[in-house]
């Protein structure tokens, strides 16, 4: 399929969508990102890549990192992880405290903040160098040793992270955080601050389109069973409380972040990452969701 033509076509078609959303402004480093930044990368299981616009420019992946934390936590803890975090859509904002209180400190899923704090805590509980391990893992997945934490973003996540502190202490009071709150949050704030391009991100997710194995190196990065499960959780929980509408419009497992990135997986075919920083009211990239909707429509590729 001529994905390049399709991307260019979509790039033109979404021009009128710019200016309607709002760049994340809860920390200054994100508030200054130019709203019109726009990149797309498609990586296929055949090893081809197709790029459009600002596809090579690193952006703050934010909640997309929750997939890496889940993958590492499952590797370390196995199915026991699911006693500490659920796998149902939340139907609530990603940083809701109310739900966590009602459900006695068991987060609904690993892709809302509370759930990611549990997966990150799991990783930290096995590994004193969890921050380093996470970075090396992501570098390996994206085949880019230059991937870095943006320290400025990580510092402001901490400075403005009161709700995440509150959530962590709440988890701790329910016995659902093993490690020290500060240690868990340090890793959590750093993983949110991973700076990756669309190409880095599409590559890092490509194994999930290929039953867990990198189609490039042939390395089994996660067992096929786990790839299936991670994709399933992305499909049902990857876009916070907009996940139903996204499945309806787009129809693929995906994960978004408030930096404006959305990465999607079409099993057996490809991974795709879009970056456009203007968000909708729920915190998902407006143009990003539109691009993915047009992509699955034009290519007739979705999981349904």
Binding residue for ligand GLN (CB under 6 A) from 9, 92, 95, 299?
A: 95
Q: Based on CB atoms, which residue is closest to ligand GLN, 162 or 300?
A: 162
Residue 231 CA to residue 87 CA, distance in Å, equals 12
SS3 label, residue 201: helix
Neighbours of 299 (CB within 10 A): 17
* Catalytic-role residue among 23, 137, 240, 271: 240
Look at phi and psi of residue 257 and say left if phi exceeds 0, alpha if psi is from -120 to 50, else beta. Answer: beta
> How far apart are the C-alpha atoms of 190 and 135, rounded to whole Å?
9
Smallest gap from residue 298 Cβ to ligand GLN (A): 28
**Which H/E stretch holds residue 23?**
strand 22-23
Catalytic residue, chosen from 71, 138, 188, 255, is 188
CB-side neighbour CA atoms (13 Å) of 166: 10
CA angle 128, 230, 274 (to 5 degrees): 95
Which one is catalytic: 60, 63, 156, 168?
63
How many chain residues interact with ligand GLN (CB under 6 A)? 11
C-alpha span between 131 and 194 (Å, rounded): 11
Residue 66 annotated among the catalytic residues of the structure? yes
The answer to whether 122 contacts ligand GLN (rule: CB under 6 A) is: no
Structure tokens at 44: 């296929």
149 is catalytic: no
Exactly one of 55, 63, 109, 119 binds ligand GLN (CB under 6 A); that residue is: 63
Residues 152-170 as b or e (16 or more Cβ within 10 Å = b): ebbebbbeebeebeebbeb
Q: Is 258 a catalytic residue?
A: yes
Whether 45 is catalytic is no
- CB distance 266 to 209 below 8 Å: yes
Q: Does 258 bind ligand GLN (CB under 6 A)?
A: yes
Q: Which of 23, 33, 66, 153 is flagged as catalytic?
A: 66
Instruction: Check binding of 263 to ligand GLN (CB under 6 A).
Output: no
Q: Which one of the listed residues 23, 85, 138, 258 is annotated catalytic?
A: 258
For the bound state, the minimum distance from the C-beta of residue 15 to ligand GLN, rounded and expressed in Å, comes to: 25
Cβ within 8 Å of residue 224, ≥6 positions away: 211, 212, 213
**Which residue number, 45 or 153, has a Cβ lying nearer to ligand GLN?**
153
Q: Give yes or no for residue 89 binding ligand GLN (CB under 6 A).
A: no
Site string for ligand GLN, 126-165 (x = CB under 6 A): -------------------------------x------x-
**Among this protein's residues, is 169 annotated catalytic?**
no
Which residue minimizes CB distance to ligand GLN? 63
Closest to ligand GLN by CB, 76 vs 282, is 282
81/196 Cα distance (integer angstroms): 27
Whether 29 contacts 58, CB under 8 Å? no
Verify binding: residue 283, ligand GLN, rule CB under 6 A: yes
Q: Which is nearer to ligand GLN, 214 or 276 (CB)?
A: 276
The binding site for ligand GLN (CB under 6 A) comprises 62-63, 94-95, 113, 157, 164, 192, 257-258, 283
Instruction: Give the catalytic positions in this structure.
Output: 63, 66, 188, 240, 258
């Amino acid at each position: 399929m001529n994905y390049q033509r399709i991307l260019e076509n979509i790039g033109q078609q979404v021009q009128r969508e710019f200016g309607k959303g709002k760049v994340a402004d809860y920390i200054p480093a994100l508030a200054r990102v130019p709203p019109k930044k726009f990149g797309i990368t498609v990586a296929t299981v055949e090893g081809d890549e197709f790029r459009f616009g600002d596809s090579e420019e690193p952006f703050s992946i934010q909640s997309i990192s929750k997939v890496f934390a889940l993958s590492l936590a499952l590797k370390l803890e196995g199915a026991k992880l699911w006693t500490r975090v659920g796998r149902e859509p939340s139907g609530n904002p990603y940083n809701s405290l109310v739900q966590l209180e009602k459900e006695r400190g068991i987060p609904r899923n690993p892709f809302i903040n509370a759930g990611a704090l549990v997966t990150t805590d799991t990783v930290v509980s096995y590994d004193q160098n969890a921050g380093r391990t996470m970075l090396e893992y992501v570098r390996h997945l994206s085949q880019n040793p230059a991937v870095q934490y943006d320290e400025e973003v990580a510092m402001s996540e901490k400075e403005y992270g009161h709700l995440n502190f509150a959530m962590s202490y709440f988890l701790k009071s329910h016995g659902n955080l093993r490690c020290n709150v500060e240690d868990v949050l340090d890793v959590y704030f750093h993983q949110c601050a991973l700076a990756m391009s669309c190409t880095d991100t599409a590559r890092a997710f490509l194994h999930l389109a290929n039953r867990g194995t990198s189609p490039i190196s042939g390395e089994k990065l996660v067992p096929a069973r786990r790839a299936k499960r991670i994709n399933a959780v992305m499909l049902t929980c990857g876009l916070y409380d907009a996940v139903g509408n996204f499945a309806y419009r787009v129809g693929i497992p995906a994960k978004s972040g408030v930096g404006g990135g959305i990465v999607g997986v079409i099993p057996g075919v490809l991974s795709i990452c879009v970056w456009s920083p203007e968000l909708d009211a729920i915190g998902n990239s407006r143009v990003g969701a539109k691009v993915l909707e047009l992509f699955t429509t034009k290519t007739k590729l979705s999981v349904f």
